[in-house]
Amino acid sequence: MKRELPVVNERGAAAPCPAPEMDAARRGRSAASRRLFLRSAIGGVAAASLTACRVEELLGRNYRELSKDELGAIIARLEKKHTERYGKQVRIGNEPPQPGVDFGYGLDLSRCIGCRRCVYACVKENNQSRSHPQIHWIKVLEMDKQHGVNLTHANAYYEADEVPRPGHFYMPVQCHQCRHPPCTKVCPVGATWKEPDGIVVIDYDWCIGCRCCMSACPYGARRFNWAEPSLPADEMNPDMHYLGNRPRPKGVVEKCTFCIQRVRNGRYPACVEICPVGARKFGNLLDPTSEIRQVMETKRVFVFKEELGTEPQFYYFYAT
């Protein structure tokens, strides 16, 4: 069944639970409504022994099938749960993509010094698991200058306190938010998809943890929660997005979302902000005056593994 991306009318207001308009009628998918009917039927039968709410929770719902009210209720429940657990007022936003926005990212390979500040700013911003497993959404590869971009000479485990090391250059890799994402294609349950503003997102409550998407991703951008993520309360970032940096459960896949909780509210991704050498550029590809468009206008950009036809919205370039 071909799935439609949610069409969203509401603009991204920063209200506590700005759930998007997603009534079943607009989607008009007969299969979807049949499924919903079947679920309520199963729910009705099972309600004899369990409460209806519990059944609904057990069966679960795909993000894209939830109504505005249902999503609002789920978000309220999650906010309460995480606020209690971490002892901080948590806000889980659900800002929709904005019309006329298609995000693009530029990375200047001639500037990057491999300091990995982006890696750790990302971890902090996006509430990744700190240890066992330690999860990084950005991987910085150290490569030999004499070989150019060549993965057989790439090393992700160099010591970052002495960078840049002579004879080497650095290539950070994260989710490329492909225009033809191989990862969303293979997902057996449609738990990951590309939003209209270019961001490839994951519904952590729908992912079954089969890791097909990780096999399909040519950029090694997806991470799996092999164990219950460890997120110390004092390091937790309470400013969240439902499809972004909210705490993830064990056994699901996660990845870079261009900091969806930031960029849909007009802010830069954390990695762009932290970069000490200005190697990272970000903006709206549809806006001719944006920084990313300036880069494309004045520099020569290229994409990684272009032969795979993924058409990333993440560009590399050499500014000098």
Partner 1 sequence: MAGILEFVKGSLRLITRGGPAYKAWVGALLVGVVIGLFGYAKQFEAGLIATNMRDQVTWAFYIGNFTFLVGVAAAAVLLVIPAYVYQWKPIKEVVILGELLAISAIVMCLLFVLVDMGRPDRLHHIVPLIGAPHWPSSLLAWDALVLNIYLAINLLVVVHILYSGYRGKHYNNRFVIPLVLLSIPMAVGIHTVTAFLYNGMAARPYWNASILAPRFLASAFCSGPAVLLILFQVLRKATGLEIKDEAIWKVAELMAYAMFFNLFLLGAELFKEFYSATEHLLFTRYYWFGIGEHRALVPYAWASLAASLAAFLLFLIPKTRQHWVTLNLGCLLIWAGVYVEKGIGLVLPGMTPDTLGEIYDYTPSLVEWMVAMGVFCVGFLVFTALVRVAVPIMSGQFRHPGATLPADAH
**Which residues of this protein are in contact with partner 1, per CB under 8 A?**
1-3, 32, 34-35, 38-39, 42, 59-60, 62, 65, 132-133, 139, 141, 151-154, 156, 173, 182, 185-191, 206-212, 214-220, 222-228, 249-253, 308-309
Q: How far is the CB of 310 from partner 1 (least distance, A)?
A: 8
Q: How far is the CB of 92 from partner 1 (least distance, A)?
A: 20
Q: Which residues of 204-220 are buried (b: 16+ CB within 10 A; e: fewer)?
A: bbbbeeeebbbebbebe
Q: How far is the CB of 170 from partner 1 (least distance, A)?
A: 13
Comparing C-alpha atoms, which of 97, 105, 90, 129 is closest to residue 271? 105
Nearer to partner 1, 112 or 295 (CB): 112
Nearer to partner 1, 226 or 318 (CB): 226
Contact 263, 283 (CB under 8 A): no
- The alpha carbons of the chain give a radius of gyration, in whole angstroms, of 20
For the record, the structure tokens of 253 come out as 């896949």
Q: How far is the CB of 207 from partner 1 (least distance, A)?
A: 7
Contact 273, 117 (CB under 8 A): no
Q: How far is the CB of 287 from partner 1 (least distance, A)?
A: 31
Q: How far is the CB of 304 from partner 1 (least distance, A)?
A: 10
Q: How far is the CB of 238 from partner 1 (least distance, A)?
A: 25
Comparing C-alpha atoms, which of 58, 2, 66, 61 is closest to residue 30? 2
Apex 67 CA angle, 66 and 69, nearest 5: 120
Q: How far is the CB of 258 from partner 1 (least distance, A)?
A: 20
Nearer to partner 1, 9 or 134 (CB): 134
Apex 137 CA angle, 22 and 271, nearest 5: 90
Q: Which residues of 83-110 are buried (b: 16+ CB within 10 A; e: fewer)?
A: eeebeeebbbbbbbbbeebbbbbbbbbe
Nearer to partner 1, 164 or 218 (CB): 218
CB-based contacts of 188, cutoff 8 Å, min separation 6: 208, 210, 212
128 vs 206: CA distance, rounded Å: 19
Nearer to partner 1, 138 or 263 (CB): 138
Nearer to partner 1, 13 or 38 (CB): 38
For the record, the structure tokens of 19 come out as 């759930």
For the record, the structure tokens of 171 come out as 């290539």
Nearer to partner 1, 249 or 266 (CB): 249
Nearer to partner 1, 187 or 236 (CB): 187
